[in-house]
Structure formats: C-alpha cells, structure tokens
Amino acid sequence: MARGNALLKRLQSVKSKSQPAKRAKSKTKTKSRRKSAGEKKTFVLLKGNADTKVVFRNKQPRGAALKAASRGHKKIRLRERGTNRIHVFTGSRTRVAKQESFKCKGGGGRWTPSQQNLCQEWKPKWKSNVRKIGIEHR
C-alpha cells in the first residue's frame, strides 16, 4: 500500500510540472487607455461656465485656442474633454497686409487692387495670436 501511495504522488507531481502554472488575477484596476502622440484631444469652448456647441480638435490646447481666435473670440476658455482642466487664453486677430504679387490661377499676371473682384480665390487673410493666462480646475 505504501508503494501505491508513492507512485500516486509521483504521477501527480509529473502532471503538475507538465501543465503551465495559472496566472493569479491581479486585484488592481486596469489602466485607462493613454493617448498616443498622434491622437488629437477635444476642447469645448466655454461661455461663462457653461459649455457651448463649439468644439475644436487639436493635439495641444494652444492650437485649439488659435482656431478660436481666428473665428473672432477674444476671451477663450477651453475645457479639455476627459479631464477637469480649463485652459484660459486671451486672443486677437489682425488682418494681414495684401501681397502685391498675388497671382490668380486663372487670370495670370500680377494682382492689383483693381483686380480684386476678378480673382475668385482672393479672400482676406487673418493672423490669430493667443496668450495663455493659465489652467483652472473644475
């Protein structure tokens, strides 16, 4: 009988060595998915403390603020979706001087102020500028 028990123990040890060990489940929560370097973030323009329907997508908050400034917003408060951060900027836009040698695709030649209506691609150019004031937390 003692010899039978020894063989049984030996068989059980061989089985346990041949099967891979099971991984213990970790009790920690899984990490949230991090954004890779190429992904854009979403910023919502705030009016007072309320969200508006205006949404900008950019990698950095400054790029979103430049887009807001180019559309004429002066006091820019952008809420970053997924976080509790509010990026605060002041913005302005200035009209860029017209180029004297602006060429139309269809007309050819040099652009003069009298030909402005003839060139359909001509649009007034704006240069936006922003200055970051800080970050607020909700």
Instruction: Kindly state the DSSP code that residue 83 receives in the 8-state scheme.
Output: S
Mean pLDDT for the chain overall: 78
Residue 5 lies in a domain: no
Q: Which of 131, 134, 137 is nearest to 65 (CA)?
A: 131
Is 71 inside any structural domain?
Answer: yes
Establish if 59 belongs to a structural domain.
yes
Q: Report pLDDT digits (tens) over 59-93.
A: 999 999 999 999 999 999 999 999 999 999 999 99
Position 100 confidence tier, pLDDT thresholds 50, 70, 90 = very low
Residue 50 lies in a domain: yes
Report pLDDT digits (tens) over 112-125: 665 555 555 556 67
pTM to 2 decimals?
0.58
What is the extent of the structural domain holding 77?
Answer: 38-98+125-137
* Dihedral over Cα of 62, 65, 70, 73: its sign: negative
- 7 three-class SS: helix
Residue 10 covered by a domain: no
| Total structural domains within the chain | 1
Residue 33 lies in a domain: no
Of the pLDDT bands very low, low, confident and very high (cuts 50, 70, 90), residue 96 is confident
At 128, give phi and psi (nearest 5°): -100, 150
62 occurs within a structural domain? yes
> Would you say residue 19 has pLDDT above 90?
no
For residue 126, what pLDDT band results from cuts at 50, 70 and 90? confident
